[in-house]
Amino acid sequence: MKERITITSSVAGLWALFASYFGLHTALGHHNHAVIMALFYAGFALAFLAAVLAAKSWLGHWLSRRIVSMSVIPCFAVLVAVAAAGCSRANDDPLATKVTLTKPYPLHFDGDESDRITVQYAMIELAKQAKLGYDWGASQANAGEVCKKYITPEIKGIPLHEALAKILKPEALTYDIRDGKIVLKKN
């Protein structure tokens, strides 16, 4: 029974090691397919370990004993997983996301013109790029008619926090991030 528990913890440890490696890869590279790749490689690792454990040769028996007896693998995998999760959170600052908003601007309603954009629609476009939302109602309540003012921003590849300052400062507005949404308010 002890051997079965140790085998299970080694398998779980290898799976966590591969999954955390690809979690770290995602955090650093922002690739959307990393979860699928992590599961693929984790499955590959499990299949490889099962093949080693099932081998009847002396080498297979010797390797399985060495792999199974290493309690370091699960511990190391947990440390890597924690580091990857921490790294993922550190790089997940939406305000550092580089954004762009230039002419022609997206059209949002019938009769809209592509050579200008309202403050609120500019916020929506920038928020989308940073995977944030925009709280239309709260912003309208806090900032009033300024939200409907037309502007012509030229924003190219700058962090979101700089883009927001560039748009909002001349309008005497500022912002908060609440529940993953940008909320405008007066200075």
pLDDT tens digit string along 31-59? 444 555 555 565 555 555 555 555 545 55
Average pLDDT (67-72) is 52
Instruction: Express each pLDDT in 82-127 by its tens digit.
Output: 555 554 444 579 999 999 999 999 999 999 999 999 999 999 999 9
Strands 133-134 and 181-186: parallel
Q: Is the pLDDT of residue 78 over 70?
A: no
Tell me, what CATH number does 110's domain have?
3.55.50.30
Indicate whether 82 and 121 sit together in one domain: no
Q: How many domains does the chain have?
A: 2
Which of 90, 109, 136 is where one domain is finished? 90
Print the domain residue range for 156.
94-186
At 49 the pLDDT is 57
Instruction: Express each pLDDT in 142-158 by its tens digit.
Output: 999 999 999 999 999 99
Q: To 5 degrees, how large is the angle CA 53–CA 58–CA 59?
A: 65
Alpha-helical runs (H) found in 30-133: 34-54, 58-69, 72-90, 119-129
Instruction: Express each pLDDT in 2-27 by its tens digit.
Output: 455 445 545 555 555 555 555 545 44
Indicate whether 101 and 36 sit together in one domain: no
What CA–CA distances, in Å, run from 59 to 48, 52, 56, 71, 176? 14, 9, 8, 20, 62
Q: Is the pLDDT of residue 30 over 50?
A: no
At 77 the pLDDT is 58
Average pLDDT (161-174) is 97
Please state whether the predicted TM-score (pTM) of the whole model is above 0.75. Answer: no
Task: Supply φ then ψ for residue 25, to 5 degrees.
Answer: -60, -40
At 28 the pLDDT is 45
Report which residue type is found at 107.
Answer: L
Average pLDDT (175-179) is 96
Which of 55, 90, 125 is where one domain is finished? 90
Indicate whether 12 and 34 sit together in one domain: yes
